[in-house]
Chains A and B, each alone.
Chain A
């Protein structure tokens, strides 16, 4: 069964460093998402991406964040200068069609980011 994959599973970085979290969505999916879950809290939407551009972003997704689909298979989330409060689990998701009507979002296993 096709699945969303994410690498690495755990990333440890120093405050102020740049990190890139990688996701490989399901191959025929066109809509891509990043969500974040700070430890012990709820899952929060960060950004949605379609047709090589951001469709929507939350207020969490500030100028320190960017997303890219560099090669037609990967979907990346970059944090330019990490802060302690960026420590969280980051989930990638993809869907075949956008919108809740048909577009069930399939989640990856998550990348746990720890900023020291």
Chain B
């Protein structure tokens, strides 16, 4: 079965602190894609990253970085030097490429960055 677990329901940190959002996934397929989306208070879904199952290289984009560990089925997201504008709900998601193309979302982590 496909499943995405985001164990952290809500996190609060003070601005400029680093914060890591955890994501653990389950799938029987060997070919899959993992995603992170940001949902600000305005409600839209903002695509942040897509990573395929064959590429375990970590990725950095500005203050954002992602750590993909196939051995632990985890795809964690770190925000360095957090800013108030980072306050949002963050969703981790999975697509099994060989099965179908529906996106399976985790329940999300609500991140509060306190000034």
Binding site for B on A (CB under 8 A): 31, 33, 35, 41-45, 48, 55-56, 58, 89, 91, 95, 98-101, 103-107, 109-110, 112
A109 surroundings in chain B (CB, below 8 A):
43-44
Instruction: Check A33–B91 contact: CB distance below 8 A.
Output: no
Further 4 A-B residue pairs, CB within 8 A, beyond A35-B103, A99-B97, A105-B103: A48-B100, A101-B33, A103-B101, A106-B47
Whether B64 sits at the interface, judged by CB under 8 Å, is no
Interface size class of B (residues with CB under 8 A): 20 to 34
Q: Is the CB of A100 within 8 A of B96?
A: yes
A44 to B102, CA, bound (A): 9
Q: Is A100 touching B32 in the complex (CB atoms < 8 A)?
A: yes
Complex Cα gap A56–B95 (Å) = 14
Can you report 23 A-B residue pairs in the complex whose CB atoms are below 8 A from each other?
A31-B101, A33-B101, A33-B102, A35-B103, A42-B106, A43-B45, A43-B91, A43-B93, A43-B105, A55-B101, A98-B101, A99-B97, A99-B98, A100-B31, A100-B32, A100-B95, A100-B101, A107-B37, A107-B44, A107-B47, A109-B43, A109-B44, A110-B45
